[in-house]
Homo-oligomer: A and B are copies of this chain.
Amino acid sequence: MACPFCDKVANRDQLTAEEHVWTFPHSVALLGPWQFYAGYCVLIARQHATELSQLSDSARQGYLNEMCLLARAIEAVTHPHKLNYELLGNQVPHLHWHLFPRSADDPDRLRPVWFALERADQDPAERQRLQGRVARLDLSAQLRRQLQTLNAATS
């Protein structure tokens, strides 16, 4: 069966500059659709695996370091109240981290984002609210600038 995340990784050259934030050695960072959570990214492992334990020690450590670098870039750009990290794979079992920056003025801030996202499935107005009003292309560019700085600092 085709894996949609393997397709994304293989065809990342065809992604828009808005969606494609960064290609790391072990993963590809995409700007996610729910920019009410400004800076929300999905970090897809370049290797197809369903669990972290299937990666070699060095690939796993590399992937987790890249998650931390991306998190730092998001924090620097959008200054979240709290960052939520989730690796689930219940629907698409190819390793991917959701990094959801949470805002202090989100009335749902005490709960995981999934309750709001389920409302978005059922309600077009809620969907539009959660897709956000941010300038996506500018946000991607800001994240890239941060990652350039962070990569330079750690290489």
Contact = CB atoms under 8 A, between A and B. Distances in A.
Contacts of A65: 61
A37 to B, nearest CB: 12
A53 B109 CA distance: 20
Given A82-B93, A84-B90, A112-B88, A60 B50 contact: no
A83 interface: yes
Contact of A75 (B53, B82, B91): B53
Interface string A38-68: 0000000000001111000000110011001
Contact of A90 (B61, B89, B91, B110): B110
A20 interface: no
A81 B135 CA distance: 39
A90 to B, nearest CB: 5
Given A85-B87, A115-B115, 6 more contacts: A51-B82, A52-B71, A53-B68, A86-B112, A90-B112, A112-B114
Interface of A: 50-53, 60-61, 64-65, 68, 71-72, 75, 82-91, 93, 102, 109-112, 114-115, 118
